[in-house]
Amino acid sequence: MSSRFAGLTPLLAPRSVAVLGASSDPTRISGWPIAYMKSQGFQGGLYPINPNRSEIQGLKAYASIADVPDVAIVAVASEVAAAAVDDLGKKGVKAIVMFTAGFAEMDDAGAVAQAKMVATARSYGMRILGPNCLGVFDARRSYYATFSSSFDSGWPVPGRIGIASQSGAYGTHLYTLARNRGIGASLCVMTGNEGDVTVGECIGWLAENPEVDVIAVYAEGIREAPGLIAALEAARAARKPVVMQKVGRSELGTKAAKSHTASIAGDDAVTEAIMNEFGVFRASNSEQMLDIAHTATRKIYPVKNTLGVITVSGGAGVLISDVAETLGLSMPEMPVDAQKRLRELVPFCAPRNPVDATAQVSNDVTLVKTFTESMVRDGGYSAVLGFFSMTASSRRWPAIKEQLNAVKDENPGRLYALSVIVPPEGRDELEADGWVVHEDPTRAVVAIDAMGRFGEAFAKPVGAAAPNVGAVTLPGVTPTEAEAKRILGAAGIASAPEAACADVEAAVAAAERFGYPVVMKILSPDILHKSEIGGVLLDVSDAAGVREGFALLLSRARDAAPSARIEGVLVAKQLKGGVECIMGIMRDPVFGPIAMFGLGGIFVEILKDVVFRRCPFGPDVAEEMIRSIKGAPLLLGARGRKKADVKALAETLSRLSAFAVAAGPTLQSIDLNPVFAMPEGEGAFAVDAVIEVG
């Protein structure tokens, strides 16, 4: 395990555990961990610490720590927790699981106390899980550093899914759902306040744990970026799927945001961009997360995912096809000659795909093998889904199952799933045979589709390097549009020909030089969004119009912003024939500069058809972003339109991402709105530019 995440091993896989404030009552917070570990046979040292007891739950109690454990569970009052941390650090304890609450989740004073306590722990090189956390458990080691009551109703099912949750109650909720469905989730860590250990670090430790194949995550918000980025990189490198249920869709700072980009993005949109970057599947609910995590334990992640369906119900076949089409999961038709052979066997079958073998399979179970085998060998699908519903509870099912198993065993390397209604023991038998079982066929299709998405993410090559834009020096104050374009131009981000004009004669001369029509804009470092005050004039077609427009813009600026500094008017060549786009940069407080791309006009204002990406990135990633939006066909030549210069557009977006990083933390935001993507081969040009510094 890498040095970055190995430091969590004493916390998450300890050889010895001490419990501060240990209770003889196994139903109390400080008594549960001892009761759980005793009943499940924890093989390491277990030391109850309580100066008022000589014995606790049949174990010798200690007045203070003597032998140094790997981890200490702290379940004392918040008033003495800091002193306990200091004492544990002095004695060389490596990690703490802190149940104690009353810190940052309460108020500012609690946050200050928490920060001081964590600083004390770090001074000793000691890690803290929590405070205010429900702890961690690993059933394989009988390690239960938790006071969850979920084990009163049963113990974890052995398996290779690891859960990392910021919420304790919801983390054990997920575990319990998994257990009740017979899904093997043996390890769960709950981070609480994340005063020290973050959910990102826990993901990283799970990614490098050889006993974990799939990682399920419940997250409310990301507090620390480097740990999460490193963790997701480690998971992808290890080909371990990450399924995340990210809740909370509040926008970040929308009321105070001056940046157009920031007003569109929120913390949720940024986090989703990070998930997309690393191939994390965002589950819409817990049921879906467990469906996908469980299916992923088969470790079959096709790069080119195709679905073949055998069914005894035409209606179910239509339903499955609808879901697959919505998801973009390919369901190619069976080869024509294969369809012909199947029709010769059952003239009234529907062998295209879904392959409806009809209820005839109940009369002749050998048809199950014949039809399914043809799908696998002739159709060549990477995933096979069988819909047999209540047939799986019939007297004919054992014979049908034998036929299905024969096909599966003779044709390994594919994902085999069944949609059947069976009792738990029947489900377990099918799972043991190598099938993934879902009662609902639509849930099965979603899970199968996710496997292909993981495969694509694992196979994706490392992106090209971001372009070198050189050193970037920003002014101390927000620049004018003309100055912003000059700064961006030095980084290779082109704009339309233009001139800053201090007087009307200079404006007329510039317009004559560029050729009509021209665009005129008020030029002021204090008026960033000019269109809001009528500070932009389009289609100015002659010298008289320039003179009239110059006076009008100055008048509007004085009326709307009397104290604004006015430096004149910007005159620019008006571009024609391009597709209007928007690019921007916002500075996320966690992940730093984030780039945004979308189509301009109503597509951004109303539809918010935009995509985000962490900076920096190369032109290949930029082009992928451009092609991913719903409106991309407008750039790619849909319905006889001229193709836009996507290559130039991608180069501009990539350079903008590199510029954002090179500019450093004083850069708050950039808005390029619009950027005109001209016809193929004619380039891309920023028509308006706003750079905010702070």
Per-residue pLDDT of 270-283, as tens digits, reads 889 999 999 999 99
Q: Kindly state whether residues 12 and 100 are assigned to the same domain.
A: yes
Q: What pLDDT is stored for residue 258 in this prediction? A: 37
DSSP 415-479: EEEEEE---HHHHHHHHHHT-EE-SSHHHHHHHHHHHHHHHHHHHPPPPPPPP--------SSPP
DSSP state of 151: G
Q: What is the pLDDT of residue 358?
A: 84
- Is 151 buried (19+), middle (13-18) or exposed (0-12) by CB count in 10 A? buried
Mean pLDDT in the chain? Answer: 93
Can you give the CATH number for the domain in which 393 is found? Answer: 3.40.50.261
Does residue 157 register a pLDDT over 80?
yes
CB count within 10 Å of CB 588 equals 22
Regarding whether 194 and 101 lie in a shared domain, the answer is no
516 and 622 share one domain = no
Report the pLDDT averaged over residues 328-350.
95
Q: Is residue 407 part of a domain?
A: yes
Domain count, the chain: 5
Which of 297, 315, 342 represents a domain boundary (last residue)? 297
256 pLDDT above the threshold of 50: no
Of residues 2 and 289, the one with the higher pLDDT is 289
| C-alpha–C-alpha distance, residues 104 and 111, integer Å | 4
In this prediction, residue 249 has a pLDDT band, given cuts at 50, 70 and 90, of: low
Based on the fold, state whether residues 287 and 346 are members of the same structural domain: no
Residue 246's pLDDT band (cuts 50, 70, 90): very high
| Residues 356-408: tens digit of each pLDDT | 988 777 778 899 999 999 999 999 999 999 999 998 888 999 999 999 999 99
Bridge partners of residue 416, in order along the sequence: 384
Q: How confident is the model at residue 255 (pLDDT cuts 50, 70, 90)?
A: very low
Q: From 86, 193, 79, 83, select the one nearest 132 (Cα to Cα).
A: 193
Query: Residue 600 pLDDT > 90, yes or no?
Result: no
**662, pLDDT greater than 50:** yes
In a domain, 615, yes or no: yes
Stronger pLDDT, 577 or 8, i.e. the higher one: 8
> E strands of 186-279, at which residues?
187-190, 214-219, 242-246
Within a domain: 482: no
- Checking if the pLDDT of 253 tops 50, the result is no
Q: Which residue has the tokens 């109690």?
A: 61
User: What whole-number distance in Å separates Cα of residue 91 and Cα of residue 113?
Assistant: 22
Percent residues over pLDDT 70 in the chain: 96
In a domain, residue 621? The reply is yes
Q: What is the CATH number of the domain that holds 121?
A: 3.40.50.720
* Confidence bin at 317 (pLDDT 50/70/90): very high
Residue 240 maps to a domain: yes
Q: Is residue 311 scored above 50 in pLDDT? A: yes
The whole-number pLDDT of residue 264 equals 41
Tokens 């073998």 found at? 357
pLDDT value, residue 359? 79
> Does one domain contain both 328 and 439?
yes
Q: Quote the CA–CA distance of 597 and 312 in Å, as a whole number.
A: 46
**pLDDT, position 92:** 94
pLDDT at 263: 41
User: What is the distance between the terminal CA atoms of the chain, rounded to a whole angstrom?
Assistant: 41
CATH code for the domain of 536: 3.30.1490.20
Statement to judge: residues 612 and 546 lie in one domain: no
Residues 161 and 278 grouped into a single domain: yes
Q: Label residue 2 by pLDDT band (50, 70, 90).
A: low
Cβ atoms of 390 and 423 within 8 Å: the answer is no
What is the C-alpha separation between 549 and 567, in angstroms, rounded? Answer: 15
Amino acid 1: pLDDT: 59
The confidence band for 67, taking pLDDT boundaries of 50, 70 and 90, is confident
**110, 156: one domain:** no
- Summarize the confidence of residues 578-605 as an average pLDDT: 90
Residue 260 located in a structural domain: yes
**CB–CB of 311/317 below 8 Å?**
yes
pTM: 0.90
Listed range (58-67, 254-263, 443-452, 472-481) with the worst mean pLDDT: 254-263
316 & 384 share domain: yes
**Residues 323, 293: one domain?**
no
- Domain boundaries, position 35: 1-135
Q: What is the CATH number of the domain that holds 600?
A: 3.30.470.20
- Centre a 10 Å sphere on the Cβ of residue 557 and count the other Cβ atoms it contains: 23
> In angstroms, how far is CA 252 from the centroid of its own chain?
17
**243 part of a folded domain:** yes
The answer, yes or no, to whether residue 547 has pLDDT greater than 70, is yes
328 φ/ψ angles, rounded to the nearest 5 degrees? 85, 20
pLDDT band at 88 (very low <50, low <70, confident <90, very high): very high
Pairing of strands 242-246, 214-219: parallel
Confidence check: pLDDT of 528 > 90: no
Mark which of 263, 297, 331 sits at the end of a domain.
297
**What is d(CA 138, CA 474) in angstroms, rounded to the nearest whole number?**
51
Among 188, 207, 196, residue whose Cα is nearest residue 1: 207
Last residue of a domain, one of 528, 546, 573: 573
Q: Do 233 and 172 share a structural domain?
A: yes
- Work out the pLDDT band at 607, boundaries 50, 70, 90: confident
Domain identity same for 413 and 501? no
- Residue at 486 is within a domain: no
**What is the per-residue pLDDT for 250?**
52
Q: What is the rounded distance in angstroms from the CA atom of residue 345 to the CA atom of residue 637?
A: 47
Helix 424-433 with 397-410: angle, nearest 10 deg: 20
Residue 133: what pLDDT?
96
